[in-house]
Chain A
């Protein structure tokens, strides 16, 4: 801004500057800055308004953001106002509304694009700076100017900081103490902007340009390098309290809000027109007018506390999964203490999904299980749903499962018990229903239901809740089928590897399956198979993720511990009702997981797990190889099964459409042996067309090794 002011002076010519011009200069300063701000705010409003309607055309949202901000810049330049200020205030003003309106993907896009652009621009400027420093023709050295400038910038900055803090401290609640002031005055890094401006000077009008350039180069070097490098040790030495990143807790959120309300009330009582009073007024205005205008309807209705709560929950859930922990138990124990290695894609996806669902999103998993049915197309959405599904187990766990579900300590024992029980029932059912799988889809449902019931008290609830969903049924059935496959195999008590063969069902949940499988896999410590890596990939292109997939996916996301628990339940279900019961998709997974989990509580190696599951899958495959041909035939019919199996088969997914099952099966084959104990319900789906059979072969051994 000052630059512009002085440039205009220069253009007038040194001789012509009169007193009045000084006042004009000051006025011009004000106009330039305030005008720029206003332009920015106007564009912020426009931007917010536009993004309100972009729900159907998500892809162009980032484009709007960039365009309008650039437009703010150009407009300000057009009127010779401060373009930088206009862009800044456009961003600041629009931040709240745009962030709420646009999708998570767009938000990410904007953020990273901006960062990239910014760093590119800065790099270029500094390269230019460096070259200019070396290129003698561009500058002229004047020792006096340079040294005086260096001293002055330091001194004047300190003076400015001290003066302004003195004024501010009279109004601040928490005064800025000396140390803060020292840091602030020392931290005045001058950089690219100064250099860019000085180079822009018109050499003809400003005769001393070269001197300026030289001085600026030196100043920039000095501040950036010297001050930049030393400020950190300085801060440490002065023991300035650093801001610690802490995990946000819901408690803090709640109470902070309560405090705000308290303070506002007290201010009202005491008759003070304090900070909170005005802030409250602004928030009222914002809520009633601005937000209505600029925020999308669905977003408008949400409450901030709820959003904060969701974010915290998601972050925790993701981090639990990342660590391979058990969501149910660890959630209870150590919410704040989890390492937050939140995997961002999932976080963003889940939050995205939640946001898009509008205020009606209730994190009750039952609801969520239904919802995904509608949004089947995208991988991310299924992923979201899965993540959301996590909440359910958590709640249910608290209410129902705490006695039944294995807390970490007892897991093994219980797993084993359940597993054995499951195996037995599986064997029986398997034998009886071996070849009738494909016919039994519907009956499976019932059976499964009944199975579920007999499975044990701990499972029924789960089943009940999940059986309501038709979509769920499907996968379950398929899974049951697979379970049957594996039944025979299961000599040992440990996992039955179910081979879910699913003919290529494009619509299937290939994605979910892979996902599910992946999740499944994790518990299995078996040698990782290549497919494990696919766990995240398989989702590509899956056409529809039927709800069952969702649950699978959910399972997938669940940390290994949980999976084991789930596996237990699922396996029990499955074993009982070999025909796939409608049981929630999770069940198969769960059982698979439980199988896996039993002996080995936590082989939380995702890559490995995938492998292991695949290996386990391999086992069943071999077993079910005889079944495969049958299955293959029934591609169509077995759609559902396929789906289920898909879930169980991360491997398969990779194999899927492209073709032959290649690598995964073989590794599976080996895996089963190793991963014996853990292959719960790995439902192998020989997704692809033929090869499955072939691939099935190698794995024949493993099956029982669940």
Chain B
């Protein structure tokens, strides 16, 4: 897949990307190939329709949300660096990576992962997951199997459990707190094949 002679030179800003996201050169190359594969008309940027070409996404209940997560708010297309940055959220945490003191928090740290997931729920980006948003996600995930009332009660309980300041919505901190026992690194990481 991809172009025949893709090499690191084709990738713009390869060095910076590697620095920023922690991907290795091989990973980056592979991702670039994938990007080009998805980018059917070779514009160098991805549009939502390109994502639609990916098979399994149609079956995924929150597929469309994930797709929209790739697009920064307001932008219509995704270029390669953004593509890579989003995917970088899912890298497994490196335990023995040297941290540059001035570097900001690495992209794939636990907080960033959680933030990414949080944004998937919080569509209107107000920093909180309201009951309606939660219901939407639940409805998407559970679909026809569960009645509306049951959904309501699940959402109700979820909010009850997580909402500590009783504003009837889940803020990012509450979200993080409610998941503190979950091994996020494990759950939100993908092994990128070499």
Residues of A within 8 A of B (CB): 171, 173-174, 244, 246, 249-252, 254-272, 274-277, 280, 284, 301-303, 305-306, 309, 312-313, 331-332, 335-336, 359, 362-364, 391, 395, 398
Contact = CB atoms under 8 A, between A and B. Distances in A.
Contacts of B137: 254, 258
Interface in B95-130: 117, 120-121
Nearest to A267: B190
A303 B149 contact: no
A261 B62 contact: yes
B189 interface: yes
Nearest to B148: A362
Contact of A254 (B60, B138, B146, B190): B138
Contact of A395 (B90, B156, B190): B156
Contact of A268 (B57, B156, B161, B192): B57
Contact of A251 (B54, B56, B162, B188): B162
Given A269-B38, A277-B56, A332-B160, 4 more contacts: A263-B188, A335-B160, A359-B145, A391-B153
Q: For the complex, would chain A's binding face be called helix, strand, loop or mixed by DSSP majority? A: helix
B182 A255 contact: yes
Interface string B150-194: 100110111011100000000000000011011101111111110
Nearest to B46: A269
Contact of A264 (B60, B87, B161, B162): B60
16 contacts: A246-B181, A249-B161, A250-B154, A255-B179, A258-B120, A260-B187, A262-B117, A265-B56, A269-B51, A270-B31, A270-B34, A271-B34, A303-B146, A305-B154, A306-B142, A306-B154
A272 B193 contact: yes
Nearest to A363: B153
B182 A362 contact: no
Contacts of B56: 264-265, 268, 277, 280
B87 A251 contact: no
B84 to A, nearest CB: 10
B61 interface: yes
Contact of A256 (B31, B147, B182): B182
A7 to B, nearest CB: 42
Nearest to B37: A271
A265 B60 contact: yes
Interface residues of B, number: 55
A302 to B, nearest CB: 7
Contact of A173 (B156, B178, B182, B186): B186
Given A173-B191, A251-B178, A261 B141 contact: yes
Contacts of B73: none
B12 interface: no
Contacts of A174: 92, 183, 185-186
B190 A270 contact: yes
A369 to B, nearest CB: 15
Given A263-B90, A309-B157, A335-B161, A303 B34 contact: no
B81 interface: no
Closest 7 CB pairs of A and B: A303-B145, A268-B56, A251-B178, A265-B66, A271-B34, A259-B187, A265-B60
Contact of B158 (A244, A254, A268): A254
Contacts of A267: 190
A268 B90 contact: no
Contacts of A265: 56-57, 60, 62-63, 66-67
A331 B159 CA distance: 12
B90 A266 contact: yes
B142 A303 contact: yes
Interface in B53-92: 54-57, 59-63, 66-67, 70, 87, 90, 92
With a 10 A CB-CB cut-off, give which of A174, A331, A359 has the most chain B CB atoms: A174
Contact of B87 (A270, A280, A398): A270
A134 B176 CA distance: 60
A250 B161 contact: yes
Nearest to A273: B193
A394 to B, nearest CB: 9
A398 B156 contact: yes
A395 B157 CA distance: 10
A573 to B, nearest CB: 27
Contacts of A263: 90, 187-188, 190
A597 B136 CA distance: 41
A584 B183 CA distance: 46
Nearest to B116: A262
Contacts of B186: 173-174
With a 10 A CB-CB cut-off, give which of A171, A265, A302, A312 has the most chain B CB atoms: A265
A174 B178 CA distance: 22
B106 to A, nearest CB: 17
A162 to B, nearest CB: 19
B182 A252 contact: yes
Contacts of B162: 251
B172 to A, nearest CB: 13
B31 to A, nearest CB: 7
A225 B178 CA distance: 41
B38 to A, nearest CB: 8
A602 to B, nearest CB: 23
Contacts of B188: 259, 262-263
A263 B92 CA distance: 12
Interface in B30-46: 31, 34, 37-38
A241 to B, nearest CB: 11
Contacts of B55: 268
Contacts of B145: 301-303, 306, 359
Contact of B192 (A270, A276, A331): A270
B59 to A, nearest CB: 8
Nearest to B121: A258
A266 B62 contact: no
A270 B67 CA distance: 12
Contacts of B192: 270, 272
A272 B27 CA distance: 11
A226 B181 CA distance: 34
A276 B182 contact: no
A183 to B, nearest CB: 18
Contacts of A306: 142, 145-146, 150, 154
Contacts of B67: 265
Given A250-B158, A251-B178, A262 B153 contact: no
Nearest to B137: A258
Contacts of A395: 153, 156
Contact of A269 (B57, B147, B150): B57
A359 B120 CA distance: 29
A388 to B, nearest CB: 12
A261 B59 CA distance: 10
Contact of A274 (B37, B178, B190): B190
A255 B37 contact: no
A535 B120 CA distance: 50
A366 B67 CA distance: 41
A407 to B, nearest CB: 14
A395 B187 CA distance: 32
